[in-house]
């Protein structure tokens, strides 16, 4: 036990002769904190964009977003305004023009044009009113004069059929009328 007491006295005497090291730990800690603050400050100045850069980037993103929306809207508008053909059917009429005793036969295959956005409505109305439309088209052909039925004078017949069809439909869905095939023969 005496040895233990001597060892303790030696340790306390060694501690008394060592200079205090408290200030060294603080200066090391202060240096570490200073380096961290300096690194954060440098990163802020070099890596974080300025307010002008942030606003320019936001403006560029906004402009590209608006342009993409406009392009999508324009594509949809263009698709809706595309003109599509609609089959109005084949017609074969035998008739005798006014003022003659000759008999003629007209065979026509008609189509109409309408906007793509109106195509579903045109299909439903045509299915609903097909009999009336076919009757009126036949009447226009029968009541035409022979000079109107010649191939170079079909414009008047086209306009009459277009007006009649649009009159029978709820809206003016048809833009024009055309002939896929047309034949006028004397019998």
Q: Taking the model in full, what pTM does it have?
A: 0.57
Taking the CA of residue 72 as centre, how many other CA atoms within 13 Å lie in the half-sphere pointing to its CB?
A: 6
pLDDT in tens, 68-113: 877 777 667 667 778 999 999 999 988 887 777 888 999 999 999 9
Q: Residue 175: its pLDDT value, please?
A: 92
Q: How far apart are CA 134 and CA 142, in angstroms?
A: 12
CATH class held by domain 82-186:
alpha beta
94 is written with which tokens?
A: 């035998």
Q: Residue 15: its pLDDT value, please?
A: 54
Calculate what percentage of the chain has a pLDDT beyond 70: 83
- For the chain, the structural domain boundaries read 22-78, 82-186
């Amino acid at each position: 036990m005496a040895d233990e007491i001597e060892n303790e006295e030696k340790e306390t005497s060694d501690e008394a002769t060592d200079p205090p090291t408290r200030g060294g730990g603080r200066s090391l800690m202060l240096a570490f904190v200073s380096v961290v603050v300096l690194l954060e400050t440098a990163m802020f100045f070099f890596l974080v964009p300025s307010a002008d850069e942030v606003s320019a980037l936001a403006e560029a993103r906004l402009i590209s977003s608006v342009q993409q929306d406009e392009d999508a809207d324009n594509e949809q508008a263009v698709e809706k305004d595309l003109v599509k053909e609609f089959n109005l059917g084949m017609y074969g009429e035998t008739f005798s023009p006014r003022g003659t005793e000759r008999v003629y036969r007209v065979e026509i295959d008609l189509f109409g044009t309408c906007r793509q956005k109106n195509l579903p409505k045109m299909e439903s109305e045509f299915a609903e009113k097909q009999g009336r439309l076919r009757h009126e088209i036949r009447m226009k052909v029968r009541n035409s004069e022979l000079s109107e039925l010649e191939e170079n004078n079909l414009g008047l017949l086209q306009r009459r059929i277009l007006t009649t069809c649009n009159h029978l439909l709820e809206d003016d869905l048809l833009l024009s009328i055309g002939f896929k095939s047309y034949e006028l023969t004397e019998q």
